[in-house]
Amino acid sequence: MSASTLNDLLAEGVSGRTVLVRSDLNVPLKDGTVTDDGRIRASLPVLEKLTGAGARVIVAAHLGRPKGAFDPEFSLEPVAHRLSQLTEARVTGIDSQLPLAGEEARAAVAQLGDGEIFMLENVRFDPRETSKDAAARAEFAAELAALTGENGAYVNDAFGAVHRAHASTTDIAKLLPAYQGDLVAAELKVLQRLTRSPQRPYTVVLGGSKVSDKLAVIENLIPKADALLIGGGMVFTFAKAMGYGIGKSLVEEDKLDTVKSFVALAEKHGCQLIFPTDIVMAASFSADAEHEVLPVGELENGAHGDQALGLDIGPESAAAFARQITASNTVFWNGPMGVFEMAPFAAGTRAVAQALTDCPGFTVVGGGDSAAAVRALGFDESSFGHISTGGGASLEYLEGKDLPGIDALGAA
């Protein structure tokens, strides 16, 4: 059974109806200000389609991992403020004194006019949102559903949250007519293209700090990809498994045997594993640290010996990665090549991002730090085929796992 879509809901008519939209607004904050509004902007099209059609929209979202109670550090107030700057619709809500659900919340939502948005506080301030007790989640979901009154509806547009069986992503879909938001539909279409019918050559570029975060993705994609490029902090677990000295670089000792098995798996499936041949080694984890480029076999032979740590792939590796990427017809990239937040160690990530923009094929930036890097380094987002907002949900899909929030919508 295929899911009902936002277009189906709009065709039914939403003027005067209250629609609860689960959005993904889990954005980074600093000193109470949104520092990367990519997910807010990605959520706008669905919200504005609904408000433009006269719906009264309730936005439910989470931020961070509060422990089931109000915590000002995780308040969505800065997000609501930024949303109000980006949309012409009137945005109200976000009151730390107002319960997330119940009579007071219903009374507040009842003041909404057609085409207006009411943003709830962080749904994770209620412990029932993430409870392992199905009855508790169902109770909270029923209270959220009640906010929509008669003839309400639910739209899940939070792909970044669909891998969690939470009250606002799965349980509520059983209580209201449920629809798949455009952002969710777009993410699914892209991920299905990557796993079912990629145009070849198909190259996967993986980075980030820990190989443990990507183990299942690597295992599941090796049989599907033509080439797998390894960068970021995970390089050093592979390098140590291959017998190289890595100084003080990040390593996961308990994953050495696992990464060795990936080499054999790649050989079995004809997937080319491409590792960095040079690394930027630094004296310390600091933007002003002394650093030098060393061949991967000599990482402990530089100025700082076995006390050095690797913070980026080197220029030779970056060029090789770029050549592979631009020669591909499909590219999926998840995870930076180095500590891109520090200018001396951003070149590898920049080179990969640039190669994706130069690639004539279909390119996907896999959300999270990769998407943040694209924006932080000043790239035009329209230069990429798709920038995911999925984060962990995208990775779990690529691992071959079921996504509860998608299953709840009846999507294949």
To the question of whether residue 24 is assigned a binding role by annotation, the answer is yes
Peptide bond into 45 cis (omega under 30): no
392 is catalytic: yes
Sheet holding 291-295, edge to edge: 291-295, 278-282, 309-313
To the question of whether residue 30 is assigned a binding role by annotation, the answer is no
Distance CA 218, CA 204 (A): 9
Smallest Cα–Cα separation from 158: which of 361, 403, 370? Answer: 403
To the question of whether residue 368 is assigned a binding role by annotation, the answer is yes
For 281-290, b where at least 16 C-beta lie within 10 A, e where not — what string? bbbeeeeebe
To the question of whether residue 323 is assigned a binding role by annotation, the answer is no
To the question of whether residue 124 is assigned a binding role by annotation, the answer is yes
To the question of whether residue 26 is assigned a binding role by annotation, the answer is yes
Distance CA 317, CA 295 (A): 10
39 is catalytic: yes
Query: Burial of 89 by CB count in 10 Å (0-12 exposed, 13-18 middle, 19+ buried)?
Result: middle
To the question of whether residue 255 is assigned a binding role by annotation, the answer is no
Tell me which of 54, 68, 245, 392 is the catalytic residue. 392
Tell me phi and psi for residue 387, to 5 degrees: -110, 115
To the question of whether residue 267 is assigned a binding role by annotation, the answer is no
Tell me which of 106, 193, 210, 224 is the catalytic residue. 210
Residue 201 zone, left/alpha/beta (φ > 0; ψ -120 to 50; rest) = beta
To the question of whether residue 232 is assigned a binding role by annotation, the answer is no
Tell me which of 38, 231, 368, 390 is the catalytic residue. 368
Tell me which of 17, 22, 39, 137 is the catalytic residue. 39
To the question of whether residue 56 is assigned a binding role by annotation, the answer is no
To the question of whether residue 183 is assigned a binding role by annotation, the answer is no
To the question of whether residue 164 is assigned a binding role by annotation, the answer is yes
C-beta separation of 51 from 117 below 8 A = yes
368 is catalytic: yes
Binding site per annotation, positions for ATP: 214, 310, 341, 367-370
Which residues participate in catalysis according to the annotation? Answer: 39, 210, 368, 392
Mark the binding-site residues, compressed into ranges.
Answer: 24-26, 39, 62-65, 124, 164, 214, 310, 341, 367-370
**Which residues make up each annotated binding site for (2R)-3-phosphoglycerate?**
39, 124, 164
Q: Binding-site residues for substrate, please?
A: 24-26, 39, 62-65, 124, 164
